Chain A
Amino acid sequence: MPEWLRVILFIIFVLSFAGLNAAYLVWCERKGAGHIQRRIGPKEVGPFGLLQPLADGAKLMSKQLFLPKGVDPILFMVAPLMVMVPAIMSFCVIPFSETFVAREINLGLLMIFAFASVNVLGLLLGSWGSANKYALIAGARCVSQNVAYEIPMLITTITMVMVTNTMNLNEIVRSQAGWFIHWHIFRLDMSLLMPVSFLIFFVCSLAETNRAPFDMAEAESELIAGAYTEYPGMGFGVFFMGEYANIVIGCALTAILFLGGWQAPIPLNFGGFLGVLWGMSWFFLKLYALIFTVIWIRWTYPRTQFYELLNLSWKVLIPISLFNLILTALQIKIFPWL
């Protein structure tokens, strides 16, 4: 397959995946919330309410793009895109299967983190441009939250890079081949605190994507809709898609780093097209299991208080992840045969 065709196909795939995924994650979330709350959830539009996302999308798109008085029009319009676009860009390096990856680059991990940091800038600009006090509070919260949680997340990532010796996501997955005990989360021989690393990384990705119980940017019972307060129609819709795309990125990274990405739990691999399907199905299984956990947490727990959130990061996660880093480094250098 020529390179240009591959890239075009991948752009189509990534865009449609990000869009559909966001739409159907909303449906999943509503269905999931419904079952957790002992009700049915969407059921009117189409079978099992499966066409509900289309109806929602049509509603959002047909709404007037209204600019409230006093907003900064450029920042206001650009902000949703700044949340959405980097999230989609990150999909380019995610290995859905061994061969099903747009660009296998050596610094894939670094690229995802670089793009993920733009997300918070988008939220901040949107909340600043909204000329709304609630949005501004949410923006300020969002920045301090993201700064606080990026640190333990990155330290944990460094730990992982140390044990795998690569930043290439596909290489990281390949290094977990074999039985499921070769997945990094079970590799205590690589780093004693591997499950802890997994937990820290998952919690941080929850916080980075502003999901409950850390949804300080939205906090609807405190800040109305937080940073999104003034956004009408599709402006809000794009924010929303960006948020869901970020959740997918966060969960995908967790799956790749710790749960073996597209590796099956048994040492069984196929070649060709079947291999692509085999790898993708395992990857998506892990991905959606993690996403379900995220949804589950959201509909079970109340929201944390903001200073508790920061305390958790600065007083608990950062020291533990630093300790973990040093321990892993020692383990690699002093007991390299392990």
Chain B
Amino acid sequence: MNGTLQQDVNQETFTLNLGPQHPATHGVLRVKLVMDGEYIVEAEPVLGYIHRMHEKMGENRTWAKFLPNCGRMDYLSALSYNHGYVAAVERAAKIEVPERAEYIRVITVELNRISSHLLWFGAFVLDLGGFTPLLYAFDDREFILDLLESVTGSRLTYCYFRFGGVYNDIDDAFIAGTREFIKKQRKRMPMYDALVTKNIILIKRLKEIGPISKDMARRYGATGPVARGSGINYDVRKHEPYSVYPELDFDIPVYEEGDSMARYMVRMDEIEQSMRIIEQALDKLPEGEIKPKKAVKMVKPEKGDYYHAVEAARGSFGVRLVSDGKNQAYRLKLRSPTYSNLSLYGEATKGMLLPDALALMGSLDLVIPEIDR
């Protein structure tokens, strides 16, 4: 069926279908493995089980009507997708965004990033056979979901950003709740450290497992925590500043090792950095409008193509718009970070043991609807 996977009947290998219904793939991803005992000879991910052709939908509806679709690709950090799309359209249609709206965007996106990392943390340890951290992480994440629900109106598939602003202003209760969450979360992180990060079994399972070299990350276009775990200091928020990120002080955690542990540490450190960003943004939050004074009614970008990238929880999410001057896209390309991150899986898992390969897969932080789009 697939040309690259050819099985020699005389050799002692067998094909193992990992998925599409497998607990470790977190969705409907299938990986065709050619195994020699428990060693992987070849791994080929098979995608598309929940492919919905969002890009075609983008061509069939007006700019504004595509907004809800953004929440349905990366359902764990939907606000980053919101942000990427509205920022691209704003760039194309030259829409100004009030500063307060930009701050609100940053605050909510970073909250969403924390919730995404927390869920990843739980699910990753679950992949490694540890059940309990998942529940703790969900407990923390619940707090964020409640906060975001109070301001966006939804808990998971957000559609909160509008061209030129946001849908709803944040109130004092939200600000107080966010500060309380940060306070609480700062107390929780040392517990995770003691329970999980310093656990000898976890360290043995992640250290020097699933190395991804700098060069491999570059050839496959890996971004986000995967690249940063391989010693690449690349974060769109710093590298290609957008929104109000230049005005905020935060660090980009980078680990040189390139193993699963490095990717794990990057994400755990990013939770703290996101909390720093939120605190500063709350301090600096200016008064003012959250939407342009003149309401944006009909978006008609000029002809041409435009690109805008944002840092989603999983890496660089890019939107390429081709406009022909009408009120809907001529072409809308969504560059999903995990699509590129997963593409290195075949090369990275060569000769690896099955449980290690699953640890590597977990450390890539896959969200299948985002890969399949």
Q: Using CB atoms and an 8 Å cutoff, list the residues of chain A in contact with chain B.
A: 33, 36-39, 133-134, 137, 140-141, 212-213, 215, 219-222, 224, 298-308
Contact = CB atoms under 8 A, between A and B. Distances in A.
Contacts of B132: 33, 36-37, 299-300
Contacts of A39: 135
A141 B37 CA distance: 11
Interface residues of B, number: 30
16 contacts: A33-B132, A37-B135, A137-B354, A140-B37, A141-B38, A212-B129, A213-B129, A219-B129, A221-B23, A221-B358, A301-B129, A301-B199, A303-B130, A304-B205, A305-B205, A306-B38
Closest 8 pairs (CB-CB, A-B): A303-B129, A302-B130, A37-B135, A302-B128, A302-B129, A221-B127, A221-B24, A221-B23
Contacts of B358: 221-222
A224 B129 CA distance: 12
B24 A304 contact: no
Contacts of B16: 133-134
A302 B199 CA distance: 9
B192 interface: no
Contact of B38 (A137, A300, A304, A308): A137
B136 A301 contact: no
A142 B14 CA distance: 20
Contact of B202 (A38, A215, A302): A302
B31 to A, nearest CB: 13
Contact of A305 (B139, B195, B199, B355): B355
Contacts of A307: 353
Given A133-B16, A219-B129, A221-B128, A302 B22 contact: no
Given A304-B205, A305-B356, A306-B353, A224 B135 contact: no
A207 B128 CA distance: 17
Nearest to B202: A302
A33 B353 CA distance: 30
A303 B201 contact: yes
B204 A304 contact: yes
A141 B354 CA distance: 12
Interface in B19-49: 22-24, 37-38
Nearest to B130: A302
B126 to A, nearest CB: 6
Contact of B136 (A38, A222, A224): A38
A308 B207 CA distance: 13
